[in-house]
Chain A
Amino acid sequence: MTEGLIWGYVYPNEAEVQWSILIVLYPYITGLVAGAFIASSLYHVFGKKEIKPVARFALLTALAFLLVATMPLVAHLGHPERGVQIMFTPHLTSAMSGFGYIYSFYLIVVVLEIWLSFREDIVKKALSSRGLKELLYSGLALFSYDISERALHEDEKLARRLAIIGIPSAAFLHGYVGFIFGGIKANPWWSTPLMPIIFLMSAIVSGIALLILLYIVAMKIRRHAIDHSCLYSLAQYLWVFLIFDVVLELLEVVSMKYESLEEIEIINILLSEKIATTFYGVQLTLGIFVPFVLLLLVGIMKNHDTLKTIMIAVSSTLVVIGVFAMRWNVVIGGQEISKSLSGTLTYVPVFFGMEGVLPAVVIFTIPFIILLVLTYILPPWKDMEEATE
């Protein structure tokens, strides 16, 4: 069966593509986390008031996705119970072994940030409810109910500081994922020092796009008007980061083609045969070019709020799909070329089974369920709705 999937000369240990769709999902999810967090810090750190309606919602989104970020990896491991070993005995010369600590540090920052920005609501709920609900919110408030002006001011100061630490750690968490791929010197499609920044930019792009989509959907479900100044502002940031993203992605391919080192022949085959549709079609055209033009039009057009909202929603959907295609092209594309540089392989995803499409879909739906639960416990709607009231 593997006969038809292999072309040219490949090494025996490459005959099977080991990093499956789950490993595509992993950088995709961490990217969404980093992007959502950076979107929220536009308000928390850089004081962009127009982002305020979604700032806390963005934090909850970041947490919801962060909680499942490890799941694709653990499911891929085969021995999930051994996953924690990476934290018990991390080898200092391995970039991969840093994951547990980088992830935990970032999780602590996000949880603290959420706690501080929701503390006033938590305390008020604890004081006004009874029974189990009171216990839940009192527990979340750590049984400390001080919401005086001074206490809240202190919270805000600390939250700002945390967000300042949070941005580099978000960048680190995701840049690090890029570094792992960028540091694999045997694979010409991965090995580039640009990889961490490419990953980071596409993370920010996908995170902002997801936030826009979730915001529009949440407002539609709650039958509430969308705050257009917030939406346009997010769309503008999306547009700006799209430019950085496309510049870096193309820079890598263009410099590879211009340098034309010995790997160029296999890279050409990869780009023209193996991942042509997902690279030129989905990643560049649908994921970057079309949203770029649509968002440019949104920036130019006056009035037509409904049309602009639709255009932003379409762009965001395309960006979210495009970034998934980008992860696919990196992770799967890199494994579809042989390290001999004179053969190719083909990844055929299975549907069921540990490494299949089904577990990937299941894992990707979990963050949305977590987000639903989180917004039920810590409703962020007040900020989102007061601007348009």
Chain B
Amino acid sequence: MQPHIKRAFTLLAIAIIVFIVIRSLVVPDSFGQYGWYRGDSVVDNRNFPVEYAGSASCGEENCHKTLYSIWEDSRHKTVNCETCHGPSEKHVSNVRIMPQPANESRDFCGLCHFRQTARPEDFSQIDPETHGQNLRCAYCHNPHKPWFV
């Protein structure tokens, strides 16, 4: 083999080796432990502090039992308390720590209820331009029992 061709292929070999070395340094050790992802990410996720207590905890201990039972029968029963009221784990473990106030802006309700062609027709949707004169939705609708106007 000619010396210049040898040099070219040596250079190529070096490039490939450098790539392999960088790859071995960059790819985390735990990659592939459980599947095609970094195994340690499972531990990372598990170690995140729990922020949400879950709707059931609002109805327990006689705290918000009445409101809970109204909500439980309403069309909004699939929307968790903390969807509007924010993460409440701290509040559940210590009632003195209040959760953030519920988000009751028009745009927030609109995330689900502003008209969109892609939504099923029988799903409650409104045109924000013509419906409700720009009032807050909760002015007329009770969010815990939305059919109750």
Q: Given A89-B27, A91-B36, A142-B11, decide whether A12 and B118 contact each other with a Cβ distance below 8 A.
A: yes
Q: Given A11-B118, A12-B119, A14-B118, decide whether A146 and B12 contact each other with a Cβ distance below 8 A.
A: no
Closest to B28 in A: A89
Q: Is A15 an interface residue (CB 8 A)?
A: yes
What is the size category of the interface that chain A forms with chain B?
20 to 34
Q: Is A67 an interface residue (CB 8 A)?
A: no
CA distance A143 to B11 in the complex (A): 12
The interface-forming segment of A2-10, A43-51, A56-64 is A2-10
Q: Is B49 an interface residue (CB 8 A)?
A: no
Minimum Cβ distance to chain A for residue B115 (Å): 8
B23 contacts A88, C-beta separation under 8 Å? yes
- What 1/0 flags go to A89-121 for Cβ under 8 Å of B? 101000000000000000010001001000100
Across-interface contacts of A151 in B (CB, < 8 A): 2, 4
Q: Given A10-B118, A12-B118, A108-B12, decide whether A142 and B4 contact each other with a Cβ distance below 8 A.
A: yes
Q: Is A154 an interface residue (CB 8 A)?
A: yes
Q: Is A200 an interface residue (CB 8 A)?
A: no
Q: Is A255 an interface residue (CB 8 A)?
A: no
Across-interface contacts of A2 in B (CB, < 8 A): 116-117
Q: Is A303 an interface residue (CB 8 A)?
A: no
Q: Is B50 an interface residue (CB 8 A)?
A: no
Across-interface contacts of A144 in B (CB, < 8 A): 3-4, 7
Across-interface contacts of A88 in B (CB, < 8 A): 23, 26-27
Q: Is A194 an interface residue (CB 8 A)?
A: no
What is the size category of the interface that chain B forms with chain A?
10 to 19
A146 contacts B8, C-beta separation under 8 Å? no
CA distance A224 to B115 in the complex (A): 64
B11 contacts A154, C-beta separation under 8 Å? no
CA distance A89 to B3 in the complex (A): 35
Closest to B7 in A: A142
Q: Is A209 an interface residue (CB 8 A)?
A: no
A146 contacts B4, C-beta separation under 8 Å? yes
Across-interface contacts of B31 in A (CB, < 8 A): 89
Q: Given A142-B11, A144-B7, decide whether A10 and B2 contact each other with a Cβ distance below 8 A.
A: no
Across-interface contacts of A154 in B (CB, < 8 A): 2, 5
Minimum Cβ distance to chain A for residue B124 (Å): 16
Minimum Cβ distance to chain B for residue A28 (Å): 28
Q: Is A319 an interface residue (CB 8 A)?
A: no
Closest to B117 in A: A6
Minimum Cβ distance to chain B for residue A99 (Å): 15
**Chain A, 141-161, CB within 8 A of any chain B CB:** 141-144, 146, 151, 154-155, 158
User: Max chain A CB contacts within 10 Å: which of B4, B7, B11, B27?
Assistant: B4
Minimum Cβ distance to chain A for residue B131 (Å): 15
CA distance A130 to B26 in the complex (A): 41
Q: Given A12-B118, A12-B119, A14-B118, decide whether A142 and B8 contact each other with a Cβ distance below 8 A.
A: yes
Closest to A144 in B: B4
Across-interface contacts of A141 in B (CB, < 8 A): 4
**Chain A, 128-149, CB within 8 A of any chain B CB:** 141-144, 146
- What 1/0 flags go to B104-133 for Cβ under 8 Å of A? 000000000001111100000000000000
- 4 further A-B contacts with Cβ under 8 Å, apart from A12-B119, A144-B3, are A89-B27, A89-B36, A142-B8, A144-B7
**A residues near B, CB below 8 A?**
2-3, 6, 10-12, 14-15, 87-89, 91, 108, 112, 115, 119, 141-144, 146, 151, 154-155, 158
A-B residue pairs in contact (CB < 8 Å), sample of 18? A2-B116, A3-B115, A3-B117, A10-B117, A12-B116, A12-B118, A14-B118, A87-B19, A89-B27, A89-B36, A108-B12, A112-B12, A142-B7, A142-B8, A144-B3, A146-B3, A146-B4, A155-B5
**Nearest 6 A/B pairs, CB to CB:** A144-B4, A12-B118, A142-B7, A6-B117, A15-B118, A154-B2
